[in-house]
Amino acid sequence: MTARMEDMVIIDGLTLCNWDRELLLELHRGGVTCIHACCALWEGARETLSKIGKWYRFIEENADLVMLVRQGADIHTARSQGKVGIILGAQNASPLEDDLSLIEVFSQLGLKIMQLTYNNQNLIGSSCYEENDSGLSRFGKLVIEEMNRVGMLIDLSHVGERTTLDAIAHSGRPVSITHANPNWIYPSKRNKSKEVLQALRDNGGVLGLCIYPHLINGTETTLDEFSEMVARTVEFMGINQVAIGTDLTLKWGDDFLHWMRMGRWTNKMEYGAGSAANPSWPVWPSWFQGPADFPNIAEVLLARGFSRKEVEAVMGGNWLHFFSESFAPDKEVKLCV
């Protein structure tokens, strides 16, 4: 990490790596303050418990490097102890199954961010890959109210357009899109329309811009092009509502790729944001091979003319503030007001 980046808060709004100690050390080399780590894609309640149990164990075995984050204050504690904060999250509401009460249960376990749908329609609403999106379901509305109440952050990254707009309208608290890009810059079903990002902006939510190669212009996308997207998105959303959510997917084999894309819901090959011509894990751009490369992004934003304060906001300050508010139970937030 360059001297200019020291003391900068760097937060990754979504990662999906097969974490090991080597990768945790890389987080330290990159000066990363905190990451949101996905621990469920298609898993039901029981399977998610074991995933969380494994995370607890992994965090304990590496307690010199990392710390579980349940609330904003924990990010500061981790930082002051020289540790990287880990926020657990799910990219699907599948851990809830049909049980509203499990929102508080998983929140108590430290699962503080949940995407309403992954790539398929579920009990709550539709995904960006469904042909039809009938919006938020009856259960979906109650899920949002309960997530609002307990302080579990709503993530809409893979959620379908209409369900997303419904969710933003229904949520009494700001929501997030932890990892997606504007679709008028990089067209993709997974990226977001102006209508959605305008609604997110008006809701007070935060967008994490994504480096997943299929959601930009592939491996060849340059750092300048990425910084151009940051600049244009900041212009649209404002400096306090744009952040980074890399969607980093390191150290997995193809088995996990198939689980990620196909779960148990299909026997046919599915390519997600990839394609038949590009069926395996994407190759990441040369300027972002892993968490140690975070300073490259900060550097290019400074070079582009963003002020140090603006770069700090995008690199982590916005997530820090937003997560701190979002993870508090509703009544605590009300007490703060």
Of residues 50 and 307, the one with the C-beta less far from a second copy: 50
- Tokens 């905190």 -> residue: 34
C-alpha distances out from residue 6 to 30, 64, 71, 246, 325, Å? 10, 20, 24, 20, 25
Q: Does 49 bind a second copy (CB under 8 A)?
A: yes
Q: Phi/psi at 9 (nearest 5 deg)? A: -75, 120
- Binders of a second copy in range 9-48 (CB under 8 A): 44-46
- Catalogue the E-assigned strands of the chain: 11-15, 34-38, 66-68, 84-90, 111-115, 153-155, 176-177, 206-209, 242-244
> Min. distance of Cβ 95 from a second copy in angstroms?
10
DSSP 8-state secondary structure symbol assigned to residue 129: T
DSSP 96-125: GTT-TTHHHHHHHTTEEEEES-SSS--SS-
C-alpha distances out from residue 92 to 108, 141, 250, Å? 17, 16, 20
Of residues 33 and 122, the one with the C-beta less far from a second copy: 122
Name which position in 18, 20, 21, 50 contacts a second copy (CB under 8 A): 50
- Tokens 């900060």 -> residue: 298
> Min. distance of Cβ 54 from a second copy in angstroms?
6
DSSP 8-state secondary structure symbol assigned to residue 6: T
Q: Does 52 bind a second copy (CB under 8 A)?
A: yes
> Min. distance of Cβ 77 from a second copy in angstroms?
16
> Min. distance of Cβ 44 from a second copy in angstroms?
8
CA-CA-CA-CA dihedral for 286, 288, 294, 295, to nearest 10: 10
> Min. distance of Cβ 324 from a second copy in angstroms?
21
The contact pattern for a second copy, residues 252-271, with x = CB under 8 A and - = no contact, is --------------------
> Min. distance of Cβ 111 from a second copy in angstroms?
11
> Min. distance of Cβ 80 from a second copy in angstroms?
19
Of residues 152 and 314, the one with the C-beta less far from a second copy: 152
Name which position in 4, 21, 54, 258 contacts a second copy (CB under 8 A): 54
Residue 27 Rama label (left phi>0; alpha psi -120 to 50; beta): alpha
The contact pattern for a second copy, residues 56-75, with x = CB under 8 A and - = no contact, is xx------------------
- Binders of a second copy in range 99-118 (CB under 8 A): 99-102, 104-105, 108-110
Give contact residues for a second copy (rule: CB under 8 A): 44-46, 49-50, 52-54, 56-57, 99-102, 104-105, 108-110
